[in-house]
Amino acid sequence: MEIFKNDYLNIVFSSISVYVFIVLAVRLFGKKELSQLSIIDLVFILLISNAVQNAMVGSNTTLFGGLVAAGSLFIVNFLLKQVSYFFPKFGKVLEGKEILLIYKGMVNDGNMRKARFTMDELMEAIREHGVETIKQVDLAVLEVDGNISVISNEFKHRTTNRRKVHRAMKRTE
């Protein structure tokens, strides 16, 4: 479908359309998919990029056509980041917001369902942070980038002890 008579304007329009589609699709299917790529996710990303290549450049396989497509993607990415920065509400709509998974050792089942997280995935995430059980977790949050932040009672204990040692060392100086 050629909207513009100019081949390069068509590439710009198609590239931006594909970019917006991919951003919306990732937003719709969840940020959990961004945090760690499994083999299935990697294959999916490779196939998506191959599937949309022709939609962006069409029959134009020239170097300049590829550069126009890439340049369009860089520009629209930059613009979306600028709009998100200057209009935080738009950024929240586009990127979503963090989701509280554990608070003071209690799992938030509603948010787990909302984030489509299984208990096995949650346990794996807290073990990656050096915590053995959910009861030891003071706070676990699924961040907008798909990573899980975990603050445990042990972390607070270590930080508190470091502050005490640091204050004691300052007094002796």
Which band of pLDDT confidence, cut at 50, 70 and 90, is reported for residue 159?
very low
Which band of pLDDT confidence, cut at 50, 70 and 90, is reported for residue 5?
low
- Give the Cβ contact number of residue 172 at 10 Å: 5
For residue 105, pLDDT over 80 is answered with: yes
Which band of pLDDT confidence, cut at 50, 70 and 90, is reported for residue 48?
confident
Query: For residue 102, what pLDDT is reported?
Result: 95
**Across all residues in the chain, what is the average pLDDT?**
80
pLDDT tens per residue, range 58-76 = 888 888 888 898 899 899 9
Answer whether 0.75 is exceeded by the pTM.
Answer: no
Which amino acid is it at 112? Answer: M
Domains of the chain: 7-95 (no CATH), 99-157 (3.30.240.20)
pLDDT tens per residue, range 90-101 = 888 887 888 999
Which band of pLDDT confidence, cut at 50, 70 and 90, is reported for residue 151?
very high
Alpha helical stretches, state H, the chain: 7-29, 32-35, 39-57, 63-86, 88-95, 109-115, 119-128, 153-172
Rounded to 5°, the CA angle 81-82-84 comes to 65
